[in-house]
Structure 1
Amino acid sequence: MSQQFGKGCHLHLIDGSAFIFRAYHALPPLTRKSDGLPIGAVSGFVNMLQRYIEGNTGPDAATHVAVIFDKGSHTFRNDMYDQYKANRDAMPEDLRPQMPLTREATRAFNIACEEIEGFEADDIIATLSHQARDAGGRVTIVSSDKDLMQLVGGGVEMLDPMKNKRIDDEGVHEKFGVGPNRVVDVQALAGDSVDNVPGAPGIGIKTAALLINEYGDLESLLDRASEIKQPKRRQTLIDHRAQIELSKRLVQLDCEMELPFDLDSLEIKDPDSETLLAFLGEMEFRTVLKRIADRMGVEAPVIADAAPVEIDTPDAVPFDAEKYECVSDITALQTWIDRIYARGYVAVDTETTSLNEMRAQLVGISLCVTPGEACYIPLTHKGGKADDLFGNDDLADGQMGFEDCLNLLTPMLQDPSIVKIGQNMKYDTKIFANLGITVAPIDDTMLMSYAMHGGMHNHGMDLLSEKYLSHTPIPIKPLLGTGKSAITFDRVPVADAVPYAAEDADITLRLWQMFKPKLHTVGVTTVYETLERPLVPVLAQMERNGIKVDRDTLSRMSNAFSQKMASLEADIHEKAGRSFNVGSPKQLGEILFDEMSLPGGKKGKTGAYSTGADILEDLATEHEMPGLVLDWRQLSKLKSTYTDALQDHINADTGRVHTSYSIAGANTGRLASTDPNLQNIPIRSEEGRRIREAFVAGEGKVLVSLDYSQIELRILAHIAGIDALKQAFKDGQDIHAMTASEMFDVPMDEMTPDIRRQAKAINFGVIYGISGFGLARNLRIPRGEAQGFIDRYFERFPGIRAYMDETVQFAKDHGYVQTLFGRKIHTPEINAKGPGAGFAKRGAINAPIQGTAADVIRRAMVRMPEAIADLPAKMLLQVHDELIFEVDEAAADDLITIARDIMENASDPAVKLDVKLAVDAGRGKNWAEAH
């Protein structure tokens, strides 16, 4: 019998969109085996709902519940302000078909599922919260969305489901500096870049809270703005009053919607087993289907044609954090070392004060030799409380002496008879290297996963644990906190650190025991043993070497860029006939298409004109101003991303920038560079090339650059069997001129730069699956003419079209493509329909070429340390097809000779290429000179 909502009732309102996007971004792509339908987000959503239901017990349990969704992207706020949420990225193509399935999942669990056209989920939640509160009930909003914090109070609270943290009046005040009743005032002033709410320029949350607390409310503040002492702040509030008032209307939730349902209809009901299990079966969620069926005490329906699980889970020992040991003396540690020698391997993990290995201090070490049995050795935990940032720095009790621990562990860590197993072992080896310890030999579960599952999902420990061990690791955030109140691991109490840290080693060992034997079964042992594992110490040393950066050069460039941007702005304003914010796409669009009446103006869904680079490039062929804007944008990016940001990355102790390479970052085997990213410094523009002038050699040394010449075209000629290309490379011809001659029937001695440029664009474009539309834009020619170029290209080089067709078909048949060295790049979306299909096909075509090139340079890097060991030289950077060295000036010639030989013959003996690889070399006092 239905219970009427009133006093004693407790309503839970779940933010459905937050659940979905959390599931989508946290979990790997997953497709239904029977038809390739994307279902990864649905799977995660189902598991979150199931966990919610299982946790809804006790005196605080909900009596009524609803999952609230957004319906469509256009709401009444878009009518109020056409730029509202205009900066949001389009929904990923593989998520779009999953959205209706999450609604089906909610209904299958017999939970109310509500959405209303023209309104956001937040408005529905706001209205229900007020109705429930007014009826005498309690409300818990299951979300961490700051926009909902205005609803807190009077029986309404929030629950952050990821942190399992309740947000009450105090929590809101901690976030906004005001109570819930003034949140919208602060948001109206501060604006919101996520939702594109303009606010008051230059006023952030802190200043907004200060003003609201001083003047009481927004209206009083705006009425009395002339009293504010700070001139800039006063003028901002006066000049932008209308914009601030609009912002308040945008962030204010509608608490009085007319709802087509009432609170009573949200009463919790048990799911119907037949409906729920039918849905889970239809989605082919075998694990959760069996688990729920068992709990319901019914037989799980059989899913036809069940695909074999790729990796079998070994007989699992339950995870039990209480069994983990805290090692705090020599005797206990010696016992562990004895166990390690008896086994011949150990999983190792370090806890530190920072993710930056060059600055991190070792806090503790975890070890595991048997699943379920792990230990943590605390070394430098501080005695102050976890939430006391200014607590005492004395060491906490119950820890082992730092030197005593390392004296015992170092022989084992360096012993060639003991395998040290880690998850992202490069990090841990660098931490130990900072202490003078060379850890070897190693195994790395992250790289094993990468070798087996490249292209399927990411390879972080949490995901691997959930996917392959069905275990959710203890989260780090509750221990460290977030934002300004976050602490470093040395401030975590030892008792709290032990289960978290030891579990990491336990998980790593279990993953290793599962993955290691599968490398052979999946056929990637050679990839792991020759391309992944041996690269770890090479990259670790390169990262520790770093590259010297001249701060003064960067500062001068930054100032020069500022001056040039100001000059460009003046020119742009002159061409426009008035001043405006060049960095505002909206204002630029109005100038170009409304005021200057330039052709080609197209408005997006928000009503604003598109002013992307492609639009401006088209306009720049006819008008000067769009070209000036493109130049301004490029300078702005160079300044913010490089000349300004790079200065912050210079290590105070070394005077060098120490980038970090991700081995498992790109599906094709390419390395990714982060903190800072040194692989995306543009080289096509003069200003971009100048940034490389700031990367300099040490005293008495030079930088040497060795760069593969057109390696991907050479690999294409080999893979696709293009005899004309092979011969051209063999004869040392200008490959782009040769292509132009073949395509356009122009003799080589009559070749013009323009014809060669077109052929070059086609050569490189074809490798990346360029369309006629894309080529037309690159060459600034009509689309029909560009498509004609591509058609003629395939006629002259039929082997390329055959290679493309065969590669796509192989991907469809097998679910992956391969490099010449056996690296598998999975293509889970290759059979997808819609706009994403073209992208998946282009990726499949390019992956064997780009992946083979990446494998070649990996092989060269692995061999390089031994080859140059007797030279006064160090390898510093890898930038895709280029290696950068620092060497004594007198030894530069020897280095070039040796390194070039290693690089040009890197594919041997595994792959004998039909086209010989060629390497260009240069040297100089800075990177620009060397390149």
Structure 2
Amino acid sequence: MTSDAPAFGKGCHLHLIDGSAFIFRAYHALPALTRKSDGLPVGAVAGFCNMLWKYVTDEHGSNAPTHAAVIFDHSSKTFRNEIYDLYKANRPAPPEDLRPQFPLTREATRAFNISCIELEGYEADDIIAALACRAREAGGSATIISSDKDLMQLVGDGVDMLDPIKGKMIGVDEVQAKFGVGPEKVVDVQALAGDSVDNVPGAPGIGIKTAAQLINEYGDLETLLARAGEIKQPKRRQTLIDHAEQIRISKQLVQLDCATPLDFTLQSLEVRDPDAEALLGFLTEMEFSTLTKRVAGKLGAEAPVISAAPANSAAPAAPETPGFDPAGYECVTDMDALQGWLADIRDAGHVAIDTETTSLDEMQADLVGLSLCVRAGRACYIPVGHVEGGDDLFGAAALVAGQLAKDEVLAALKPILEDPAILKIGQNIKYDWKILARSGIRMTPVADTMLMSYALNAGTHNHGMDELAERYLDHKCIPIKELIGSGKSQIGFGQVAIDKATPYAAEDADVTLRLWQHFAPLLPVEKVTTVYETLERPMVPVLADMEMAGIRVDGDTLKRMSNAFAQKMAQLEDEIHELAGERFNVGSPKQLGEILFDKMGLAGGKQGKTGAYSTSADVLEDLAAEGTDLAARVLDWRQISKLKSTYTDALQTYVNPETGRVHTSYSIAGAQTGRLASSDPNLQNIPVRSDEGRRIREAFVATEGHRLVSLDYSQIELRILAHVADIPALKQAFREGVDIHAMTASQMFGVPVEGMDPMIRRQAKAINFGVIYGISGFGLSRNLRIPRAEAQEFINTYFERFPEIRAYMDKTVADAKQDGFVKTLFGRRINTPAINQSGPAAGGARRAAINAPIQGAAADIIRRAMIRMPAAIRDLPATMLLQVHDELIFEVEENAVDDLIAVARQVMESAAEPVAKLTVPLVVDAGSGMNWAEAH
């Protein structure tokens, strides 16, 4: 590339604009926008153009450029992936509506007549480094327009940075303040600290502050590693010795390449005025009316008229989506046909996929077939495991002739399914992900129509495929019962004739693709793209890995507990019969009601339509509070009975015979607030308030040589309440680490914290937690076993002492009534459709609306921590096993417990950042032991 411009030298000033940062800032900071004529997403392009126009029209003062360029990343793969194949491996794929906008931002840059630069195999940061170094060597200077910390290593003589968000210059002093070292040593600090975002491993457990201290003490990284044996702290010394090579690799990853090969000269980057025709033509094509008029006025040109209709009126209209027709579904039984489908997938860059299996248990199911769809109306089914002459569930049947070999099909599909450039679309794709992962295929990237629907419509309807197809595609799917039957005559899918299985399975993929086409454009319109892309979709591989890992359960411990519970139940039954004066079936609500309300004549008996008395937990708790021992003993019996049947007996049946572990399944789209739901078995509802309940956790054990580690957010919902309601007293208490319940009691009742009566603290604790859920005087009176009037007085006093909570509740309810939803700190929308109704439903909706932003934010925070965790602990001998509301459970080699706790705690305590800057600290409690009870 040549130029007639004067040579770059003394007095020349080069501006290097981080184009990728501009794009993502524009995308996340501005509302979604689509081009009216064809629905093309252009919101990021609009924001990018506005930022470039501001840059072009700014005076810049003494920092005015003589030369300028916008630098872009060419692709996700660079020379660093050859150094370390996991570099940036944990970064999610770009949002679907952003991808088509990348090339448009390049066109925009050229339309503004600014040099547009990208280079295959190199990151934008390397190009910026090479240009900045060349500018300095030529006697000129450079300003890097970016806030990227990785570029701060370049700051020094002749090179500075401008943070475009804050409008603040970044020089040597600012770099020193951020890293604790000068720019020349930033790389050494980053090599030690690593980077979870880019998956730079670094030294486990060493952060920026510690890294800076070490580099300042020893001078540079190589000296530090050479003298690591001199470090007095044993853990830090061993970390540096054990991970020396990893740290050196990390330095190669963070070191920018000033020798990046460039095929152009600095003088070719001379600042040029925009060409009015080219710029206005591009803005008109994008249909940016306001900016087009602004630019035209500035350039003294006439603003073109922008029409929402396509520019070429003769262009054919987009074809209508075809109807559902089995004639468009193909059964693939030879490799040539399969290769044709794979070629279509590569051309399209996406594929909807669905698996058919022998079981709903992903850990034991065998693959029967796969269906694929690239465009609506055309799908295929690839049978690989259909059988005849036996029961496929027990493997005693012969394969139907004419099917492709499963291993050959999976081998052919593997490059496609693992290609990061091809999007894999599924409905509840976590199931298919696990089925394929057991065959050595890790699908990436994935999109999930169930999670798209959840992000858009949580709380308004369910998100199963059949319901979504009827609701959004006006199509009723083929019922599975038509193929496999029901009841005792039900067969496995592998026994279904292939000619009948093909239209059913192919239809699933076809429906999934159409749902994706329907939901994907709605995500930016409804402003939930970020929620879907950062809180929903990335959870799929994280949870799948956890579920596949499972947790070990000691069967002998469970058997002993079951026997002990049976004896306890028998003892309680004897006490109950003695109190009742006769023997009866304690498990029979009808017989119990007759004893309590007919024989004993107790008040409060309510008969239903069948004439039987209600003996629900609420009824029995009221009777127990009034001193009825029989009711209290029945409650104890029921609790023990539930623990025995639901846990100590049932858990033994869930142990996987191949792994010897229990593999729960998590529902990402189960709860409206974003909380995960656990099933088969449910490990989230094991009672912890009773000694018997806590003992069940003793049965969850670590394998030999390992420990279970529990990390649990401390009072996270109260901390979020203190932040969102802006309660000074609570915020101060959390910042100072005082006993929050004692502080609340002191505030409410005017008693000193020191020497406080435990009962008073207990009352304050009940109110602290109860108020989040909209507890009433009636509910509090039951919890504390005190008169209702006294309980209501407590609540009234609470709101008098903390008026900010009442203000938060009133505002939240008012917003929910107006908008029909509330939002968390992270943008999750929680619909409240019943809040404007009357009667009991409105009361429940009001309480849900008050709690949802708090519980939802807590759920979002632990999701964010879980998504970041695999990269953070990749180099530790540890596995994340379980999530139980605010708690994460890990299994780790016993010599790495402290390392894991340090790393995982840092991830969890910083999980809200940078989206939410909480005004109270997140605190994580940690413990470890041979079993879950010891760890917790």
Is TM (by shorter chain) over 0.5? yes
Q: Partner of 2:794 in structure 1? A: 789
Q: Deviation at 1:733?
A: 1.1
Kindly, what percent of the aligned residue pairs are identical?
69
Q: Partner of 1:685 in structure 2? A: 690
Q: Partner of 1:637 in structure 2? A: 642
The alignment status of 1:467 with 2:454, answered yes or no, reads no
Do the aligned partners of 1:423 and 1:444 also contact (CA within 8 Å) in 2? yes
Q: Partner of 1:480 in structure 2? A: 484
Q: Partner of 1:411 in structure 2? A: 415
Q: Partner of 1:893 in structure 2? A: 898
TM-score by length of 1: 0.65
State the alpha-carbon separation in 1 of the partners of residues 676 and 604 from structure 2.
39
State the alpha-carbon separation in 2 of the partners of residues 391 and 884 from structure 1.
36
Q: Partner of 2:455 in structure 1? A: 451
Q: Partner of 2:662 in structure 1? A: 657
1:550 to 549, 554, 562: 554
Q: Partner of 1:882 in structure 2? A: 887
Call closer, same or farther: CA 1:389–1:542 in 2, change over 3 Å.
Answer: closer
Call closer, same or farther: CA 1:363–1:784 in 2, change over 3 Å.
Answer: same
Q: Deviation at 1:366?
A: 0.5
Q: Deviation at 1:906?
A: 0.3
Do the aligned partners of 2:865 and 2:907 also contact (CA within 8 Å) in 1? yes
Query: Match of 1:701, as an amino acid?
Result: H
The alignment status of 1:695 with 2:703, answered yes or no, reads no
| 1:422-454 Cα deviation digits (max 9, x unpaired) | 111111010000001111111111111111111
Q: Partner of 1:920 in structure 2? A: 925
State the alpha-carbon separation in 2 of the partners of residues 383 and 709 from structure 1.
56
State the alpha-carbon separation in 1 of the partners of residues 515 and 749 from structure 2.
56
SS in 1 for 2:430: helix
State the alpha-carbon separation in 2 of the partners of residues 783 and 389 from structure 1.
57
State the alpha-carbon separation in 1 of the partners of residues 479 and 536 from structure 2.
28
SS in 1 for 2:775: coil
The alignment status of 1:746 with 2:756, answered yes or no, reads no
Task: Figure out how many residues of one structure are paired with residues of the other and give that number.
Answer: 618
2:537 to 510, 530, 533: 533
Q: Partner of 2:565 in structure 1? A: 561
Do the aligned partners of 1:681 and 1:688 also contact (CA within 8 Å) in 2? yes
| 1:879-915 Cα deviation digits (max 9, x unpaired) | 0000000000010000001001100110001100011
Moved more, 727-736 or 614-623: 614-623
Query: Match of 2:703, as an amino acid?
Result: G
Q: Deviation at 1:603?
A: 3.5
2:325 to 306, 313, 320: 320
Q: Partner of 1:433 in structure 2? A: 437
SS in 1 for 2:398: coil
Do the aligned partners of 2:390 and 2:398 also contact (CA within 8 Å) in 1? no
The alignment status of 1:847 with 2:828, answered yes or no, reads no
Q: Partner of 1:215 in structure 2? A: none
Q: Partner of 2:586 in structure 1? A: 582
1:768 to 738, 759, 773: 773
1:616 to 613, 620, 625: 620
SS in 2 for 1:746: coil
Q: CA RMSD of the aligned region, Å?
A: 1.6
Q: Deviation at 1:416?
A: 1.2
Query: Match of 2:700, as an amino acid?
Result: F
1:907 to 899, 912, 919: 912
The alignment status of 1:827 with 2:838, answered yes or no, reads no
Query: Match of 1:675, as an amino acid?
Result: D
Q: Partner of 2:172 in structure 1? A: none
Call closer, same or farther: CA 1:314–1:509 in 2, change over 3 Å.
Answer: farther
Q: Deviation at 1:380?
A: 1.0
SS in 1 for 2:387: coil
State the alpha-carbon separation in 2 of the partners of residues 475 and 600 from structure 1.
47
State the alpha-carbon separation in 2 of the partners of residues 462 and 660 from structure 1.
21
State the alpha-carbon separation in 2 of the partners of residues 872 and 599 from structure 1.
60
Q: Which runs of 5+ in 1 are unaligned?
A: 1-312
Q: Partner of 1:777 in structure 2? A: 782
State the alpha-carbon separation in 2 of the partners of residues 497 and 368 from structure 1.
15
SS in 2 for 1:748: coil
State the alpha-carbon separation in 1 of the partners of residues 934 and 396 from structure 2.
51
Q: Partner of 1:112 in structure 2? A: none
Q: Deviation at 1:389?
A: 9.2
Q: Deviation at 1:405?
A: 1.1
SS in 1 for 2:830: strand
SS in 2 for 1:871: coil
Alignment of 1:24-39 (within 5 A): none
| 1:447-505 Cα deviation digits (max 9, x unpaired) | 11111111111111111111111111111111011112111111000000000000111
State the alpha-carbon separation in 2 of the partners of residues 315 and 824 from structure 1.
32
Call closer, same or farther: CA 1:698–1:392 in 2, change over 3 Å.
Answer: closer
Q: Deviation at 1:390?
A: 10
Q: Partner of 2:424 in structure 1? A: 420
| 1:151-183 Cα deviation digits (max 9, x unpaired) | xxxxxxxxxxxxxxxxxxxxxxxxxxxxxxxxx
| 1:233-283 Cα deviation digits (max 9, x unpaired) | xxxxxxxxxxxxxxxxxxxxxxxxxxxxxxxxxxxxxxxxxxxxxxxxxxx
Do the aligned partners of 1:465 and 1:507 also contact (CA within 8 Å) in 2? yes
Q: Partner of 2:497 in structure 1? A: 493
Call closer, same or farther: CA 1:833–1:330 in 2, change over 3 Å.
Answer: same
Moved over 6 A (4+): 388-392
| 1:752-798 Cα deviation digits (max 9, x unpaired) | 11111111111111100111111111111111111111111111111
| 1:709-762 Cα deviation digits (max 9, x unpaired) | 000000000011111110111111111111111111111124111111111111
The alignment status of 1:863 with 2:892, answered yes or no, reads no
The alignment status of 1:358 with 2:339, answered yes or no, reads no
Q: Partner of 1:802 in structure 2? A: 807
Q: Which runs of 5+ in 2 are unaligned?
A: 1-317
Q: Deviation at 1:314?
A: 9.2
Do the aligned partners of 1:383 and 1:397 also contact (CA within 8 Å) in 2? no
TM-score by length of 2: 0.65
SS in 1 for 2:374: strand
Do the aligned partners of 2:825 and 2:853 also contact (CA within 8 Å) in 1? yes
Q: Deviation at 1:398?
A: 2.9
Q: Partner of 1:759 in structure 2? A: 764
Q: Partner of 2:209 in structure 1? A: none
Q: Partner of 2:21 in structure 1? A: none
Q: Partner of 1:520 in structure 2? A: 524
Q: Deviation at 1:392?
A: 7.3
Do the aligned partners of 2:714 and 2:922 also contact (CA within 8 Å) in 1? yes
Call closer, same or farther: CA 1:391–1:407 in 2, change over 3 Å.
Answer: closer
The alignment status of 1:377 with 2:385, answered yes or no, reads no
Q: Deviation at 1:604?
A: 3.9
Query: Match of 1:427, as an amino acid?
Result: Y
Alignment of 1:712-751 (within 5 A): 712-751=717-756
State the alpha-carbon separation in 2 of the partners of residues 802 and 409 from structure 1.
57
Q: Deviation at 1:612?
A: 2.0
State the alpha-carbon separation in 1 of the partners of residues 537 and 603 from structure 2.
55
State the alpha-carbon separation in 2 of the partners of residues 499 and 353 from structure 1.
18
Do the aligned partners of 1:383 and 1:392 also contact (CA within 8 Å) in 2? no
Q: Deviation at 1:611?
A: 2.1
Q: Deviation at 1:580?
A: 1.1
| 1:101-156 Cα deviation digits (max 9, x unpaired) | xxxxxxxxxxxxxxxxxxxxxxxxxxxxxxxxxxxxxxxxxxxxxxxxxxxxxxxx
Do the aligned partners of 2:425 and 2:448 also contact (CA within 8 Å) in 1? yes
| 1:626-667 Cα deviation digits (max 9, x unpaired) | 211111010001111111111110000111000000000000
Q: Deviation at 1:515?
A: 1.0
Q: Partner of 2:66 in structure 1? A: none
Do the aligned partners of 1:876 and 1:886 also contact (CA within 8 Å) in 2? yes
